[in-house]
């Protein structure tokens, strides 16, 4: 069975591609053959990142390929243990296709209402298209370190009826520097930052396993 994870967002710059790259790295490090399907053919954020990774000799190798459609990307699924669909921001039709094809849909969000509200609106729109709420999870990105703000953001998502994953990715120039070198955010030079990101990655993996167990039960 192939695990398919969809990364979607209502707006750009919230961490969607960063999350896709992190999960690919963690899947591969855990022994799963993995591919990122880069569905933003104009930006090709993940594709360009994979090029930097190869040029800098960063291991493990991460397979990334640009696809013109969700359908063509999903056709690759059976060749891998995990397929990560990295969609365009603000692409409603494509976003729905990604959600329908995925076992888990992850929506990255910041702490402010300006980030949280569009994410919840997106989740609601997916539910109206028949996506089960249990398949949708939010990931905290660009957090400030304020426990009060973090708790308020988590409560906002929970009150809206959605799961919010453990762990978080704080604002740090180290994450950007890692990306510039073709590294994932679990591969920075700082152990604490790596551990925070790893906690989020593990939460995604745990949720995937939980949903799979429900399917086979």
Give the global pTM: 0.95
Residue 81 structure tokens: 């243990």
Token pair, residue 137, equals: 């999870």
For 125-172, how does the pLDDT look when each residue is reduced to its tens digit (9 = 90+)?
999 999 999 999 999 998 988 899 999 999 999 999 999 999 999 999
Task: Please give the angle made by the CA atoms of 204, 5 and 115, to the nearest 5 degrees.
Answer: 70
Letter string b/e over residues 13-44, b meaning 16 or more CB atoms within 10 A of that residue's CB: ebbbbbbbbbbbbbbbbeeeebbbbbbbeeeb
* C-alpha to C-alpha distance for 22 and 41, rounded to whole angstroms: 20
β-bridge mates for residue 34, sequence order: 82
Domain architecture of the chain: domains with CATH: 3-216 (3.40.50.300)
Which pLDDT value is given to residue 217? 59
pLDDT at 101 over 80: yes
Residue 42 has pLDDT above 90, yes or no: no
Compute the distance between CA of residue 13 and CA of residue 181 in angstroms, rounded to an integer. 19
Average pLDDT score over residue span 114-127: 95
The Cα–Cα gap between 74 and 69 comes to 9
């Amino acid at each position: 069975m192939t695990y398919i994870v969809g990364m979607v967002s209502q707006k750009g710059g919230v961490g969607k591609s960063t999350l896709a790259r992190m999960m690919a790295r963690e899947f591969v490090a855990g022994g799963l053959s993995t591919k990122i399907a880069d569905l933003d053919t104009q930006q090709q954020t993940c594709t360009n990142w994979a090029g930097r990774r190869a040029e800098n000799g960063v291991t493990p190798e991460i397979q990334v390929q640009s696809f013109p459609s969700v359908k063509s990307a999903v056709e690759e699924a059976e060749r891998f243990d995990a397929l990560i669909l990295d969609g365009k921001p603000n692409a409603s039709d494509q976003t729905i296709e990604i959600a329908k094809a995925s076992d888990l849909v992850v929506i990255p969000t910041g702490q402010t209402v300006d980030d949280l509200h569009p994410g919840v609106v997106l989740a609601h729109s997916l539910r109206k298209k028949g996506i089960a709420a249990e398949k949708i999870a939010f990931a905290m990105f660009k957090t400030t370190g304020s426990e009060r703000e973090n708790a308020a953001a988590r409560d906002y998502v929970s009150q809206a009826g959605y799961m919010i994953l453990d762990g978080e990715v704080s604002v740090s120039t180290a994450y950007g520097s890692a990306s510039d070198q073709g590294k994932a955010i679990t591969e920075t030079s700082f152990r604490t930052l790596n551990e925070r990101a790893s906690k989020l990655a593990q939460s995604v993996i745990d949720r995937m396993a939980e949903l799979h167990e429900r399917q086979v039960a």
